[in-house]
Structure 1
Amino acid sequence: MKNNKKKVQRLFIAFILLVMCTACKQEPDKSPKADVKEEETSAPIAENTEIYPLTGLPLKNVNGQRSFAVMVNNHPDARPQSGLHQADLVYEVLSEGNITRFLAIFQSEQPAVIGPVRSAREYYVDLSSGYDSVFISHGWSPQAKETLENGRYDYLNGLFYDGTLFWRADFRKAPHNSYISAENIMEGAKQADIDLVQQPESLSFLSEDEMKNLKGDEAVKAEVRYDKSDVWNAEYEYDKQTEKYLRYSNNEQTKDLETGKSIAVDNLFIVEMEHQLIDDYGRRSIDLTSGGKGILLQKGVSRQVEWRNEDGRILPYLNGSQVGFVPGKTWINIVPALEDYVSLH
């Protein structure tokens, strides 16, 4: 009898374990891997989802912070750069001669390495003001120095923090070897008593329906030629799979130095602004305020638009109404004349 009772007990325990295991299989996977896989899907953004103000993408960190704008070197000796792929918005503008530099504005992501960092020009400072960004550079032109020292802007300059907040990479030569990190920017802001709490106001973004119904000319490739040589030129090729534009320069794809990740652009905005030489060094002044012609490329479609300066932001307009951006990364190329510098295919 005792043996029969033990058999019954064993069968009952086995039945209970079977039921529990079946229930466990029906539970959703709570592992970190499952969470990562879910984040990588491109499901539509719900209307009540909080978004990052400069990308329109879902907010991961509920404690958003102020943006910072970094002057990034684009000399061939500074390529490939670090951290550019994490910028929410990037301006590419001529600095002197045929050399362009980037103004990379970060808010949603905090890179561990950014650079190489280069010196400022006053119009880059003006472009950063539309996002109330803390301005980061290593050096400055006389005009930028005057602009930054007038008390209207918060900034950190590598001239005063070389070897502390800024570091020099040993695999590159000066002036193409200055780097900084988001962590060091926050530390520098603390030292300089700079407030990092206030987020920028949100850009305007297209809805899912508006993105599906974009109308314009097919544009799978855009060339922005700052010089006869390929060295200084930017090319953007549309990737139908990701619905983003991949950037190339000097016939090489623009990728991050540390991670190898590609620059992938959701909004490519090319605008025409008046440029004037102001010294023998080849420095310029650029008219950021008068408005003018532009080309907006989104999801393989280009539209002829105009640009306006709205409180320091260079924004697209069509038929008198502001055009929204596709949620994601935005790059803005500023050129002296569209017909001379830009070609679409």
Structure 2
Amino acid sequence: MATGVRANFQRRGFAFAAVAAAALLVAGCQQAPPEPTPEPSAEARPVGSSQPLAVAFSPLRGTSTDPAAPAHPSLAAKIDNHEDARPQIALNRTDLVFEELVEGGLTRYLAVWHSDLPDDIGPVRSIRPMDPDIASPLGGVIAYSGGQDQFVAMMMATPLVNVVFDLDETGLFSRADERPGPHDVILDAAETMARNAKLAPPPVLFDYGTADPLADPALAAAPTSRIALVFSEGRSPSWDWDAGSSSWLRSQEGVADLEAGGARVRATNVVTLEVGIDWRYGEVPKTVLIGSGEAWVSVGGRTAHGTWAKDAAASPIELTADDASPLRLAPGNTWIELLPERGRASFTP
């Protein structure tokens, strides 16, 4: 508007400009019309009303869960792996399973349930001398059918509550009619844990990462389609990677390993530890788990090499990669294969 006024002043003279200036002065003294007031929105928009969601992680699986869910003890049990004991009950609901050499070249399991507690587990068998070193870090409850007096005394000396078939007078154990003895002892897991609900939950035993924790090139993880292990002439478990289910599928002596109900036994993580064997107890071998040795962690169709170390019965197993970084597991269930030094392990691309 000011530029237009100057242009007219030049063409029509001073008088016209004076009139125009007076008009502008009068207009400037008038108030501008008020801005329209915006109408309120029909729906008020909430601001800052949502609450943050609490997140917890399962100590023995590394999976996310409701904060209240892990606040209970774990249940460890000695599970039979004789041919007549198969199929076992609820192995796929475990958090951890340790496979160990026992007499006669057979293997047995020390299985641990915490995230997903079944009603029943079994078949339950007798304790062995390495089991206190395996179970001590967990706390909670340990269930077994009995054992040599010296082995029972060793387990009784741990912090765990011992639930023993040979000593049970309260009906926690029963025998399954459809199974041959002595591979027929079944534990009422739900009732066992209800009676011991006030015990502390287990601590974290392993480091967990992403769903693909071996992706870092520094770990030098090798593609693996099959893990083949030889514990003895009579025990050769193996695991095949199944990309469709993102899990390792288990076989024993070349036959698909099934749990009761017909599902294939599977694991998110397979940890293979090379261990020494102590023969001080005659024909009963004791896995040497206080010390260190070679380790292989198999996750997501890959295997990374490293070492394991455990400095006391109550200490967890530490897994370290060859580059000195922690060997982490993927969130999920884990099988720990305690492979004797005289055994064999192969990891097929």
The answer for the alignment partner of 1:308 in structure 2 is 309
**Contact preservation (8 Å) 1:121, 1:143:** no
* Cα distance change, pair 163–235 in 1 and its aligned pair in 2 (3 A): farther
Out of 299, 320, 337, the position equivalent to 2:324 is 320
TM-score in terms of structure 1 length: 0.78
**Higher helix share goes to which structure?**
1
Once the two structures are superposed, residues 194-247 of structure 1 have per-residue CA deviations (whole angstroms, 9 ceiling, x without a partner) of x43434236321135745546411111011112234xx2211000011221100
Distance 1:121 1:80, change over 3 A: same
Contact 1:66 1:200 in 2 (8 A): no
Kept after mapping to 2: 8 A contact 1:223/1:342: yes
Unaligned runs of 5+ in 2: 1-52
CA contact (8 A) 2:205 2:317 kept: no
Q: What does residue 226 of structure 1 align with?
A: 231
Q: Which runs of 5+ in 1 are unaligned?
A: 1-46
Out of 75, 84, 88, which is 1:68 matched to? 75
What percent identity do the matched residue pairs reach? 24
CA contact (8 A) 1:90 1:332 kept: yes
Which residue of the partner structure matches residue 293 of structure 2? Answer: 292
Secondary structure of the 2:121 match is: coil
Please point out which of 242, 253, 257 is paired with 2:256: 253
Contact 1:105/1:133, CA 8 A, preserved across alignment: no
Deviation at residue 343 of structure 1 after TM alignment: 1.7
* 2:279 matches 1:272: no
Cα distance in 1 for partners of 2:125, 2:318 equals 26
One of 324, 332, 344 as aligned partner of 2:336? 332
Contact kept? 1:265, 1:329, Cα under 8 Å? yes
For normalisation by structure 2, the TM-score amounts to: 0.77
Matched-pair contact (CA < 8 Å) for 1:165–1:188: no
1:264 alignment partner AA = R
Q: How many residues align?
A: 291
Aligned partner of 1:185 in structure 2 is 192
Change (3 A) 1:325 1:169: same
Structure 1 residues 141, 188: CA separation in 2 closer, same or farther (over 3 Å shift)?
A: farther
Within 2, Cα distance between the matches of 1:176 and 1:188? 25
User: In structure 2, do the counterparts of structure 1 residues 208 and 334 end up closer, same or farther at CA, with 3 Å as the change threshold?
Assistant: closer
Paired residue secondary structure (1:135) = strand
CA distance in 1, matches of 2:277, 2:67: 40
Q: Distance in 2 between matches of 1:285 and 1:255?
A: 27
Cα distance in 1 between the residues matched to 2:169 and 2:182:
12
**1:152 Cα shift?**
3.6
Q: Aligned runs of 1:1-345 on 2, under 5 Å?
A: 49-60=55-66, 62-64=68-70, 65-150=72-157, 152-161=159-168, 164-189=171-196, 195-201=198-204, 203-207=206-210, 210=213, 212-213=215-216, 215-229=220-234, 232-257=235-260, 259-280=261-282, 282-309=283-310, 311-318=314-321, 319-337=323-341, 340-345=343-348
CA contact (8 A) 1:269 1:297 kept: yes
The aligned counterpart of 1:23 is: none
How far apart, in 2, do the equivalents of 1:57 and 1:233 lie? 30
Residues 198 and 297 (structure 1), Cα distance of their counterparts in 2 relative to 1, 3 Å cut: closer
Q: Against the structure 1 CA distance between its residues 151 and 242, is the aligned structure 2 distance closer, same or farther, given a 3 Å change threshold?
A: closer
